Structure 1
């Protein structure tokens, strides 16, 4: 059979899965596998697009029953208000239980110290590990994707973390034929990444297909921003703008959301999901590479944080 004939046969086969169907099926399988293997899983949920898609998949995986996991958000205190509003509305709409680990609480108790640059994203590790230990979570779902950043490209779907929450790439297990090994020793836990094989474009195409609501900041809007290190940052209590940095109103949108101090906006007129998909398809930079200052601290910034227990 020629290659052309094979493609034609696939198109004519009503049972052939589209690439989005295949990705969805894989993610649903992962959620159900974790439900069967672990006692106390939790879903990291920030109100960002990847965690929103991850929750949508979890809802589909167990419908019509309720999702058998609670949610966990590590709140830096510098989150976008639109995203926090979305988070709370989503939790209420689906009747979910939300755990919030607050970076501010750790700062107030003297267990963490503010960074000179004002960013709190790297400070999330300690509250995250504290919440995992206190609630005895043995599996933690994250929305990380391999296309985001080179350290995340090393991750398995099931990522073993030691008793200190640390990640060692040499301890990663093979996952042939979608066989996942959740075995772990007391004190250890497993991070689980159902979106590992998705790309940013896949996520947006799935959002369009499923008609998933997102926070409005993912679409083009006018916002006051200032320039720092080649990015447009939003002003806030975290320390921006500084002397010599002037505010200006621009039409922007966010490709990823996190701590306001390190998440940059991009100039954009993509105010519909179709326009966003067109924009992303033409981009040659990942969303983290283009808009996350915390990943630009060093060549191995993400890997260093992951070894300490970061997402």
Structure 2
């Protein structure tokens, strides 16, 4: 079953393009691949809204969470989005992304809850890592925020093409009372039938973009005219090299002695903590140029630019078992 949705604005307020999926000479009853993905995601949002009492959407200001919010706005238009946004702020986020997050929240009158890693460090509940990266420290604040908010469904922007552990996820991913993920408890999802049943204390992580690829995301951004933080496009920036990755200099602990800061033209394929998110050399200053660049790439965005996924062969799966996204 497919669902038609319309809205006069995108998640960032821009006017939408002409109705998608129908071009000159095309069969008007055939959905394009982007229409099919959009329809599936909208269906998932509505299923969760109907089945769960207190959903929440993880929103960092990265491209996947931006597309998720855009889809949620479409799913419930003209009514407001019926759930809050949650951001686990490491304190080492890119300033451009935080500024974008706040603009979008204000524009749409959304409710944003922030779980601060810095507050946990200051209070002694978490300890700073020697390498300075805070991505692995997000799990405890996330689980505490879920428990405090009594959220029973948590939307995440994970996609199966990103990383092998995420490829194991179902769209509805059951988490136990400790927030942990057990691959053996994954449920079948035949014919887009999703099982959200859970015991008290458990919750479900929901991934509306599971079947999307990085290229799909960017093609959808192009079609819907969605505004993104500027760091997704080529710009000159001070970076230094560590373990084969170009990292942004900052208070988080870089550069160290022997690491030289250079000004280079780069862009970011994915956005996370500054301490573990690498930039890539690029001259792509437009969405069209980014799409052409991604189409030629043979590395996933996380494989190319995320140091936290390179800690071990099973780094992502280990973190997911502990309650990570």
Q: What corresponds to 2:192 in structure 1?
A: 178
What are the ranges of 5 or more consecutive residues in structure 2 without an aligned counterpart? Answer: 1-24
Q: CA deviation at 1:14?
A: 1.2
Q: What corresponds to 2:55 in structure 1?
A: 41
Q: CA deviation at 1:282?
A: 0.2
Counterparts of 1:213 and 1:109, CA distance in 2: 37
Deviation string for 1:218-266 (max 9, x for gaps)? 0000000000000000001110000000000000000000000000000
Matched, 1:210 2:260: no
Deviation string for 1:103-159 (max 9, x for gaps)? 011111111000000000000000000000001000000000000000000000000
Q: What corresponds to 2:254 in structure 1?
A: 240
Q: What corresponds to 2:16 in structure 1?
A: none
Q: CA deviation at 1:12?
A: 4.4
Counterparts of 2:246 and 2:219, CA distance in 1: 26
Whose helix fraction is larger, Structure 1's or Structure 2's?
1
Deviation string for 1:199-220 (max 9, x for gaps)? 0000000000000000000000
Please give the TM-score of this superposition, normalised by the length of structure 1.
0.96
Counterparts of 2:114 and 2:219, CA distance in 1: 30
Q: Size of the alignment, in residue pairs? A: 301
Matched, 1:308 2:319: no
Matches within 5 A, 1:259-298: 259-298=273-312
Matches within 5 A, 1:105-120: 105-120=119-134
Q: What corresponds to 1:134 in structure 2?
A: 148
Matches within 5 A, 1:35-74: 35-74=49-88
SS at match of 1:119: coil
Please give the TM-score of this superposition, normalised by the length of structure 2.
0.92
Q: CA deviation at 1:13?
A: 2.1
Matched, 1:221 2:235: yes
SS at match of 1:224: strand
Counterparts of 1:200 and 1:89, CA distance in 2: 24
Matched, 1:86 2:100: yes
Q: Which 4+ stretches in 1 moved above 2 angstroms?
A: none
